[in-house]
């Protein structure tokens, strides 16, 4: 369900041999650096924190897109991942991560695993990441991709209702647009917590919101910018 996923094969130039995984990854390191520089300059008025950019630089986005999209993996734009879903634009991933402000002691919930890319970025910054995907084939593929991240737990389910038994969460990142902020997610947000969620009824009326809960449980929302995400689906 992620908004805006098979590892690309690089061929060694020497003796026609296949490249090792490390060589393949190094071959795309320059692409990741270039993507980070583009993100850095996209909205100079709202600079992305260096810690977030470093996580974006370290996660191999090409490992989270379908084979048909590998050559476009480091373009700063959303890409299709199948089932009517997309992997988000890298800038939006960086911005939502920064707004969520994950720390190494934090427990983070992601709604809409999709390809697993956002969860992988969060995993480098947070203590524990819980991620839910409603589309079973996407969830299965993402679970395999995320198996190398020891602090990520995945589940198939309706993200509208969150992950109650693992709550409360210091941060919640929702990667699909809801018509309104789901009350179960507000209930599962810890005092002092932050939720980042696109809200709107169509692609043309969505706003990215930052929802905060203070120590007394009072909830406030702030509109950040207009966005376009796939809708949050389920039985709600």
DSSP alpha helices (H): ranges in the chain? 21-42, 50-58, 90-100, 117-123, 136-145, 183-188
Q: What is the DSSP string of 206-223?
A: -EEEEEEE-TT--EEEEE
Give dist(CA 31, CA 164) in Å, integer.
Answer: 39
Question: Catalytic positions, please?
Answer: 88
Closest CA to 169 of 220, 221, 213: 213
Token pair for 76: 């700063």
Token pair for 117: 């890319």
Distances (CA, A) of 30 to 24, 27, 60, 192, 223: 12, 7, 11, 38, 34
All structural domains of the chain, each given as residue ranges with its CATH number in brackets, are: 21-226 (3.40.50.150)
Which pLDDT score, from 0 to 100, does residue 13 have? 31
Output the CA angle 20-25-26, nearest 5 degrees. 95
Whether pTM exceeds 0.85:
yes
pLDDT-based confidence at 41, cuts 50/70/90?
Answer: confident
Closest CA to 167 of 150, 149, 146, 182: 182
DSSP class of residue 234 equals S
The answer to whether the beta carbons of residues 145 and 115 sit under 8 Å apart is: yes
Q: What confidence tens digit (pLDDT) does each residue in 63-109 have?
A: 999 999 999 999 999 999 999 999 999 999 999 999 999 999 999 99
Distance of CA 145 to the CA centre of its chain: 14
Q: What confidence tens digit (pLDDT) does each residue in 177-219 have?
A: 999 999 999 999 999 999 999 999 876 789 999 999 999 999 9
Give dist(CA 207, CA 189) in Å, integer.
Answer: 20
Token pair for 48: 């992305």
pLDDT exceeding 90 applies to what percent of the chain? 81
Residue 175 has pLDDT above 50, yes or no: yes
């Amino acid at each position: 369900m992620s908004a805006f996923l098979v590892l690309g094969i690089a061929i060694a130039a020497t003796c026609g041999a296949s490249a090792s995984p490390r060589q393949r990854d190094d071959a795309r390191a320059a692409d990741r650096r270039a993507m980070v520089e583009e993100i850095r300059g996209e909205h100079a008025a709202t600079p992305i924190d260096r810690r977030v950019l470093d996580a974006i630089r370290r996660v191999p986005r090409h490992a989270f897109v379908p084979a048909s999209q590998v050559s476009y993996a480091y373009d700063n734009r959303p890409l299709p991942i199948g089932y009517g879903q997309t992997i988000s634009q890298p800038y939006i991933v960086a911005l939502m991560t920064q707004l969520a402000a994950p720390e190494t002691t934090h427990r983070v919930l992601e709604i809409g695993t999709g390809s697993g890319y956002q969860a992988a970025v969060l995993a480098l910054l947070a203590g524990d990441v819980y991620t839910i995907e409603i589309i079973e084939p996407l969830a299965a593929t993402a679970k395999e991709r995320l198996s190398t991240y020891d602090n990520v737990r995945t589940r198939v389910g309706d993200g509208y209702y969150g992950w109650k038994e693992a709550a409360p969460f210091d941060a919640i990142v929702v990667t699909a647009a809801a018509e309104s902020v789901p009350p179960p997610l507000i209930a599962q947000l810890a005092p002092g917590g932050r939720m980042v969620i696109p809200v709107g009824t169509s692609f043309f009326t969505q706003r990215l919101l930052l929802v905060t809960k203070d120590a007394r449980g009072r909830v406030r929302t702030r509109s950040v910018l207009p966005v376009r995400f796939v809708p949050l689906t389920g039985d709600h």
